[in-house]
Structure 1
Amino acid sequence: MRFDELFEQRSLVASKLKDCLRDKGYTKVSFAKKAEISRPTLDKLLSGNIDSKTTFDRHIHKILKMMNMTVDELMFYSAQRSRSVVAVYSQNAPENHEMSDAARKQYDLLLDIIDLCAVYY
């Protein structure tokens, strides 16, 4: 797909972009800041409700450059179904430290809460 064709497919672009941001662990706020896009503009991009082709093109170009992705990589992006978590539990944790079952359940619950917040935030 060519870059010039993305505006006509902005609903699909929005869906792919949402999946990509979620899988890479970004919040809307953190991503907007890193991509140097205002939060309201990012919301319009993610909802597919941006009316200006010029604004759309400029910001999608920023996003692709920041994420080091091509148009095809974005459009053929497939959401990751499994959740793999990479986290630093503590700078002082022993090298072979593993979370207990209770800690793992609490951590997974917090991740679920974060996912819910991402929907509404």
Structure 2
Amino acid sequence: MGKYEYTINMEREGKYDMSFDALFEQRILVGKKLKDCIRDSGFTKISFSKKADISRPTLDRLLSGTVDNKSTFDRHIQKILNVLNMTVDQLLSYRPVGEVKKIGAVYSLNAPPEYSMDEKAKKQYGLLMDVIDLCAIYY
């Protein structure tokens, strides 16, 4: 994908018509779309940054839209698009695979009334909840 001239026509009939050079002006939108693409592709931020050869802090700045240097932005977006095998138009028109419904807990009330969890099970449950909390950090 090379740099070329173009005009920006945002969301015309549900499609974006934007060239690579104009992405910097829409970096917040680009960051939101990238975050969805990366998540839906099954990557964590760490695994994606390694695959794209981008530092984790730089990836975070790209995803939040806070990169303030156009050449840095262009260079890293090019790497990201290559890893995702996407064009600019595909990125900007990307829709998340599905909305994730957040569920606090799933449980069944079929245990006997006198049942109580033993200490080993409580410890294992606590560890499992810690792992889930750690995973939430990446998304």
- TM-score w.r.t. structure 2 length? 0.62
Q: Which range is displaced more, 109-118 or 16-25?
A: 109-118
Q: Which range is displaced more, 1-10 or 73-82?
A: 73-82
Secondary structure at the residue paired with 2:71?
helix
Secondary structure at the residue paired with 2:138?
helix
Secondary structure at the residue paired with 1:6?
helix
Uncovered stretches (5+) of structure 1, i.e. residues with no partner: 84-108
Cα distance change, pair 114–77 in 1 and its aligned pair in 2 (3 A): farther
Cα distance change, pair 74–3 in 1 and its aligned pair in 2 (3 A): same
Structure 1 residues 15-43: Cα deviation after superposition (integer angstroms, max 9, x where no partner): 00000111111111000000000111101
Higher fraction of strand: 2
Runs of 4+ in 1 over 2 A off after TM superposition: 109-115
Does 2:79 match 1:62? yes
- One-letter amino acid of the structure 1 residue matched with residue 97 of structure 2: Q
Cα distance change, pair 5–111 in 1 and its aligned pair in 2 (3 A): farther
Work out the number of aligned pairs and report it.
Answer: 97
- Partner residue of 1:4 out of 6, 21, 27: 21
| CA distance, structure 2, for counterparts of residue 17 and residue 60 of structure 1 | 9
| CA distance, structure 1, for counterparts of residue 40 and residue 56 of structure 2 | 19
Please list, as runs of the form range in 1=range in 2, the aligned pairs for 1:109-120 lying within 5 A after superposition.
113=133, 116-119=136-139
| CA distance, structure 2, for counterparts of residue 4 and residue 40 of structure 1 | 23
Equivalent position of 2:110 in the other structure = none
Residue 117 of structure 1 deviates from its aligned partner by 2.4
| CA distance, structure 2, for counterparts of residue 26 and residue 111 of structure 1 | 17
Equivalent position of 2:14 in the other structure = none
- One-letter amino acid of the structure 1 residue matched with residue 137 of structure 2: C
Residue 114 of structure 1 deviates from its aligned partner by 6.2
Higher relative contact order (CA 8 A, sep 6+): 1
Higher fraction of helix: 1
| CA distance, structure 2, for counterparts of residue 50 and residue 44 of structure 1 | 5
* Higher Rg of the two aligned structures: 2
Uncovered stretches (5+) of structure 2, i.e. residues with no partner: 1-17, 101-128
